[in-house]
Amino acid sequence: MEPKPFAVKICLGSSCYTRGSREILESIQSYIAEEKLESLVMLTGSLCEEQCRSGPTITINDVTYTGVDKKKALDLLDKHIHTHNHKPITGDTHSEKEC
């Protein structure tokens, strides 16, 4: 199986889950299906990204973004895909692990 160029991991740990990560996951799944991105995006979940105080947290190609909502998650994914960007999106919140 070919590796997919965009690895998206959403935290589904209890803290992020209570802050809406399930809804974010569902919106990303819908976006991938609508845009026919299944061959480009590997979507996975995690149980904690050690950013519990700042969640919901998503990671796109090893860059972790905190304080994400549905709109921000889709904007970030869209920017990464359409610029083929593997680096942090300037102006958006991203962080190193804090816990």
Q: How far apart are CA 94 and CA 63, in angstroms?
A: 7
Verify binding: residue 24, ligand FES, rule CB under 6 A: no
Contact between 27 and ligand FES by CB under 6 A: the answer reads: no
Specify the amino acid at residue 87: K
Nearest distance in Å: CB 64, ligand FES: 9
Backbone angles phi, psi at 28, to 5 degrees: -70, -40
- CB-nearer residue toward ligand FES: 58 or 81: 58
Q: Note the Cα 35 to chain centre separation in Å.
A: 16
Kindly identify the residues of this chain, within the stretch 33-72, that bind ligand FES according to CB under 6 A: 48-52, 55, 57
Residue of the chain from 11, 32, 73, 77 that contacts ligand FES (CB under 6 A): 11
Cα 72 from Cα 66, distance rounded (Å): 10
Give the footprint of ligand FES on this chain (CB under 6 A).
11, 13-16, 48-52, 55, 57
